[in-house]
Structure 1
Amino acid sequence: MSPAFKYGLGRLGVFAVCAAIVWPFTLNPLVKLMIALLASMILSIFVLKKWRDQASEAIGGAVAKRREEKERMRAALAGDDD
């Protein structure tokens, strides 16, 4: 499972737990969801730090690989092949 997918599922899980905690209160459902969203955003900063770091490294590696491939293709098209 990719780190970004795992992090996304973790964020959804934290939101679901926050929504389940807030749901029994007598508030407008939209307000309950907004409170759960805000709480899950704050909690995920601390709870999912390891997964977020792994996801950023994976995305950063993919960006670097794509950039190198782009430069290689530009050099090949310009006739500067190694």
Structure 2
Amino acid sequence: MSAAVKYTLGRIGLFVVVVAALWPVDMDIFLKLILALLFSAALSFFLLKGWRDEMAEEMAAAAERRRVEKERLRSALAGDDQADGATGDRPTDEKG
């Protein structure tokens, strides 16, 4: 399972747990939801640190792969890529 999915499900789970803990408290439902959002965000900062770091690493690796691929494509379009053994000359399409 992706780290982003685990972290997202963890955040949602914490929110649900805090809402359930606040449910018996006698206050407005919107105030309960706001408090649950704040408390779950604070708890996730500490409890989900490992998953958050794992997700950040996955995102950084994906960004690096995209950067490398972008550079490879740019060099290929510029004619700098000689990986396929071509001389860089493009075939001409002569119509007669």
- Deviations along 1:26-56, one digit per CA (max 9) or x if unpaired, are 1111110000000000000000001111011
Partner residue, 1:38: 38
| Equivalent residues, number | 82
Please tell me the residue identity of whatever aligns with 2:74: R
Letter matched to residue 63 of structure 1: A
Task: State the identity as a percent.
Answer: 52
Structure number with greater Rg is: 2
In structure 1, the residue matched to 2:94 is none
Higher helix share: 1
Equivalent residue, structure 2, for 1:77: 77
TM-score (norm: length of structure 2): 0.83
Aligned counterpart, 1:22: 22
Correspondence for 1:12: 12
TM-score (norm 1): 0.96
Deviation (angstroms), 1:62 = 0.4
Runs of 4+ in 1 over 3 A off after TM superposition: none
Aligned alpha-carbon RMSD (Å): 0.7
